[in-house]
Structure 1
Amino acid sequence: MSAVREGLPEGRYGRSADERADRRLKIIGSVLGVALLGVVGWIGWDYVAGQSVSAEVIKFKVVSDTAVDVHLEVRKEASVTGVCTLISQDEGHGEVGRADFTFAENAKRVDRVVTLKTTGRATMIELVGCRPAGSAG
């Protein structure tokens, strides 16, 4: 005859070590998950809120060896003066022009063609970024 061993009576001796460890891991995981969601939300909000001026290069046209016309579409708060930085590069990827352009129009969307002066023939234009006037750039 084989002896059948019964487990401890349910609830008589408290929780087992495994149950305590499982509960502790669930609590730690929940706290870390909430913290991670908070950090991701904060970073996302900071990124979106910090983008008060943005722009897009629609097209550009090389008009000479010393100038490029760039069509920009700028989006900003109507009351904000925006500053956008453009650079131009030559065929060898050397920088041949850089300038800041100010957009003070009282409009949320500004469509303008600006002329970027260069020291050589440009083959590429890059919008470095935009920011509100007076902020570090």
Structure 2
Amino acid sequence: MSTASTRVPEGRYGRSSAARSDRTLKIVGGVLGALLLLLVGWFGYHYVGQNKISAEVISFEISDQAVKVHLEVRKDSGAAGYCTLRSQAESGDEVGRADFRFDQDATRIDKVVTLRTKARGTSAELLGCHAD
């Protein structure tokens, strides 16, 4: 013996509300995904594309009154700017901070700079570089 089906015939009474909400969720998800992609692209462009000067700490040597820092600076040709370095003591207190200018026409500069400190520092940290 067969049992009677409680489902309505397909297509006879229009779309179900589940199908409509499914379509709406797909549209909203697509729009939000596109907006997220645009936001990530915008941040990436301004972080990488607009940054005319950047640097990296290669090594550093510590003494009681200074920290010698070997920097590798990459910049656009003709761009001028400065990089900010700081040193901290073992306790976490800042013992030295200074800006170092890079005005050369070269696109890659290796330079050892001396950061004077008021006490013995244990680190050399690059805080950032800024174009003029």
TM-score normalised according to structure 1 size: 0.81
Counterpart check, 1:105 vs 2:104: yes
Is there any run of 5+ residues in structure 1 with no aligned partner, and where?
Answer: none
Map 1:116-127 to 2 at 5 A.
Answer: 116-127=115-126
| Residue equivalent to 1:28 | 28
Calculate percent identity across the aligned residue pairs. Answer: 56
Q: Which amino acid aligns with 2:35?
A: A
1:51, CA displacement in angstroms? Answer: 2.6
Map 1:1-137 to 2 at 5 A.
Answer: 4-5=4-5, 8-62=8-62, 64-133=63-132
Which range moved further: 104-113 or 15-24? 15-24
Residue 51 of structure 2 aligns to a residue in which SS?
coil
Q: 2-side partners of 1:57 and 1:113: how far apart?
A: 10
Q: Which amino acid aligns with 2:119?
A: G
RMSD (CA atoms) = 2.2
Is there any run of 5+ residues in structure 2 with no aligned partner, and where?
Answer: none
1:44, CA displacement in angstroms? Answer: 2.0
1:108, CA displacement in angstroms? Answer: 0.7
1:107, CA displacement in angstroms? Answer: 0.8
1:3, CA displacement in angstroms? Answer: 6.5
The number of residue pairs the alignment matches comes to 132
Residue 123 of structure 1 aligns to a residue in which SS?
coil
Q: 2-side partners of 1:58 and 1:73: how far apart?
A: 7
Change (3 A) 1:87 1:13: same
Q: 2-side partners of 1:65 and 1:18: how far apart?
A: 72
